[in-house]
Amino acid sequence: MKTRTRRHAAPGPEDGPPPVDETAAPDGFVEVVGRFAGEGLLIQGWTTGAIAGATEVVAETRVRCRHAAVLATFPRDDLKPGAGGVLAILPEADIDPAAIRRCHLKVGAAWRRLDLFGQRTLLPDGDAEGHLRHMLAKLEATDADRRTLRRLAAPRYAGHDTVSGSALPVRAAIDLAVRVPGAGVWLSGWPLDPTRRVEAATLNAGRWSVRADGEWMRAVRRDVTEGFAQNPRFAPLLAGADDRHGFAGFVPVPDDVAADAAFHLELAVGEDAFLFLPVSPVPPNGEFVRRILCAVDPDDPAADALIARHVVPPVRAAERPVPGPATVHDLGPARPDPRLSVVIPVVDGREDVDLSLARLAVDPDLAQGEVLVVAGAASNARLPRAVRAAAGFYRLTVRLVLAPRARDAIEAIAAAVPHVRAARVLLLSTAVVPPGGGWLGDLERAAMRPGRPAMASPTILYEDHSVRFAGIVLDDAALPVAQYAGYPADWIRDAEPRPVAGASLDCAMLPRAWLETAVRAGGEGFVGPERKALDLSLRIAAAGGPCLWIPAVRVVAVDEAPRAGDEPWRRAAAVVDRLAFAATWPRVANATVGAAP
């Protein structure tokens, strides 16, 4: 994807005085001056000895401005021998033609002074294209310069759609255009081009433009084929045609492109022929990230490369919806000063948290504690009733935290933090089944050692007693991995607590102050809960807390199918987070790993 940003040469002391001869006699005249639509200047006249090609022109107004120029020549039978017509294009000039007093044209190493012809023609703004088209047949120029001239003479964007009314068998539409501040524009839509007339698609905004279609993600759009199946112009061309009309992609946009810039898509449909489609980007909303992820096929063999190019930048730059305030309902016996707070996030459709509450209620180590059940965005409407019944039956101090905008366990934990009252916190997943008494005390003693507190996680086993979690460690590439994952529990011989790079937030004991600091600091903006959890664990370590794995304490996690489902967009989100984490991990590794226990 090539970007071109066009800027006119502004006068300034850094340019120095143009090397022109003030005493030189005029060697020709400027007869026609006009400005192109948008930018660029056309100067036509005559001089002697001119040579077609790249050159420079000094345009005098109140100041002198030196500009790069493309020079073409043409024969004139009304001039003296050796003289001929010249037409110079200054593609980056932004000058009022009426303000020009004279010009100097560089010919070889010399400069030719061109005064203004008394009856010079000032073309109305935007008419330079038509004048250039009229002159093209008689101009002498290099092949490369002729292509440039033809391109400048082509019709330019006039602020309206020229695709829909085109006589060519080409149609296109933009379904979604989102301008992500500080990043770029996400585009998705479709072009219908059964005869392959479109050679390139360029996104433009004022003086900035970029080739946008080179690496677009393509998608099947049967609806587009069916929508034109009865159109007599397109129907014969669509027989047996490919239905992959859809496109989606991200186009980086420089920061100097104004926030309110008017964008349009330029479709090249032949040599110096173009069609235009307005693009009206909107700001990202709460569904933007999910809509982008839905545009990706995570099973595509090139998925990693496509996601890295088109999805990671806008997803990482887009602001996430703020979970918002939570509502708290106190259930069961009052306990204003609990010794331990257990936070259980519920962000799926379950209502069966009574087993976790029952196990905690009979554990003497929680006799002076509280349980915060956090009901997130997808929680079951019957959950509050089940929690209220369990709190009353087990005489358990429960705070029901309603956080309807918390979309995953990490956001639910963040919503609960302001309502945690104990100095010690246990984060506990609904998948983890608390064992019999004693495990809480063992975990608490490891985590809350006097003068040397830590964030501590036990060994977490699946129901078949294979290892689900036994500490996060660094692999040979210095990336964090879960050690022993999938191994039989008998492989674990350790008995003493061991320092690790990260704990599991499925079951972790830590000081409340560390959790508050990490949540306040904010995260890296990962999409899925797995990387969010690892990121939060690393932020807790960065806040000053070493992580410990407690091998001797073992709990079991139910190996249940994810209630949220296995939709393609969730798998695409996992790829986004994996790529983003690999890019951001080295920046935080030194601050988060290796703290002494």
Q: What is the CATH number of the domain that holds 176?
A: 2.60.40
For residue 479, pLDDT over 90 is answered with no
Chain segment 280-317, per-residue pLDDT in tens: 999 988 788 888 888 888 888 888 888 888 988 888 88
Indicate if 199 and 96 belong to the same structural domain.
no
Q: Is residue 15 part of a domain?
A: no
pLDDT band of 7, cuts 50, 70, 90: very low
Q: Is residue 91 part of a domain?
A: yes
Separation between Cα atoms, residue 471 and residue 496, nearest integer Å: 13
Worst-scoring range by mean pLDDT, 11-25, 214-228, 572-586?
11-25
Helix and strand tally (H, E) in the chain?
Answer: 14, 29
- Nearest alpha-carbon partner for 432 in 545, 558, 306, 546: 558
Indicate if 554 and 474 belong to the same structural domain.
yes
Contact present, 521 and 543 (Cβ < 8 Å): yes
Count how many residues are written for the chain: 597
Q: Is residue 19 part of a domain?
A: no
Chain segment 37-53, per-residue pLDDT in tens: 767 899 999 999 898 99
Q: Is residue 240 part of a domain?
A: yes
Greater confidence (17 vs 411) lies with 411
Query: Which pLDDT does position 29 carry in this prediction?
Result: 94
Chain segment 128-176, per-residue pLDDT in tens: 888 998 898 899 998 888 888 887 887 778 889 999 999 999 999 999 9
Indicate if 563 and 468 belong to the same structural domain.
yes
* CB half-sphere exposure, 488, CA atoms < 13 A: 2
The 3-state secondary structure of 342-373, one letter per residue = EEEEECCCCCCCHHHHHHHHCCHHHCCEEEEE
pLDDT band of 543, cuts 50, 70, 90: low
Q: Which residue has the tokens 């045609």?
A: 241
What does the pLDDT average to over 258-286?
Answer: 89
Query: Which pLDDT does position 6 carry in this prediction?
Result: 42
Domain with 233, as residue range(s), is 171-283
Separation between Cα atoms, residue 259 and residue 247, nearest integer Å: 24
> For residues 20-50, b (16+ Cβ closer than 10 Å) or e, as one string?
beeeeeebbbbbbbbbbeebbbbbbbbbeeb
Separation between Cα atoms, residue 573 and residue 298, nearest integer Å: 9
Indicate if 455 and 539 belong to the same structural domain.
yes
Separation between Cα atoms, residue 453 and residue 432, nearest integer Å: 24
Q: Is residue 256 part of a domain?
A: yes
Query: Which pLDDT does position 544 carry in this prediction?
Result: 65
Query: Which pLDDT does position 20 carry in this prediction?
Result: 64
| β-sheet bridge partners, residue 509 | 426, 456
Inter-axis angle of helices 128-135 and 143-153, to 10 degrees?
140
Beta strands (DSSP E) in 383-435 are: 398-402, 424-428, 432-433
Contact present, 297 and 571 (Cβ < 8 Å): no
- Nearest alpha-carbon partner for 34 in 137, 114, 127, 116: 127
pLDDT band of 3, cuts 50, 70, 90: very low
Separation between Cα atoms, residue 140 and residue 87, nearest integer Å: 10
For residue 74, pLDDT over 90 is answered with yes
Indicate if 226 and 363 belong to the same structural domain.
no
For residue 263, pLDDT over 90 is answered with yes
Separation between Cα atoms, residue 176 and residue 248, nearest integer Å: 9
Indicate if 222 and 113 belong to the same structural domain.
no
Number of domains in the chain: 4
Indicate if 205 and 65 belong to the same structural domain.
no
Picking from 283, 298, 333, the residue at the C-terminal end of a domain is 283
Indicate if 578 and 452 belong to the same structural domain.
yes
Q: Is residue 312 part of a domain?
A: no
Indicate if 553 and 452 belong to the same structural domain.
yes
Query: Which pLDDT does position 290 carry in this prediction?
Result: 85
Picking from 153, 183, 213, the residue at the C-terminal end of a domain is 153
Indicate if 373 and 469 belong to the same structural domain.
no
Q: Is residue 515 part of a domain?
A: yes
* 458: Cβ contacts below 8 Å, ≥ 6 apart: 439, 443, 507, 549, 550, 553, 554, 555
Q: What is the pTM of this model?
A: 0.69
Tokens of 56: 């420079």
Indicate if 387 and 514 belong to the same structural domain.
no
Q: Is residue 54 part of a domain?
A: yes
Instruction: Please state, rounded to an integer, the average pLDDT across all residues of the chain.
Output: 85
Indicate if 480 and 574 belong to the same structural domain.
yes
Tell me phi and psi for residue 259, to 5 degrees. Answer: -60, -30
Picking from 122, 153, 184, the residue at the C-terminal end of a domain is 153
Share of the chain above pLDDT 90, in %: 39
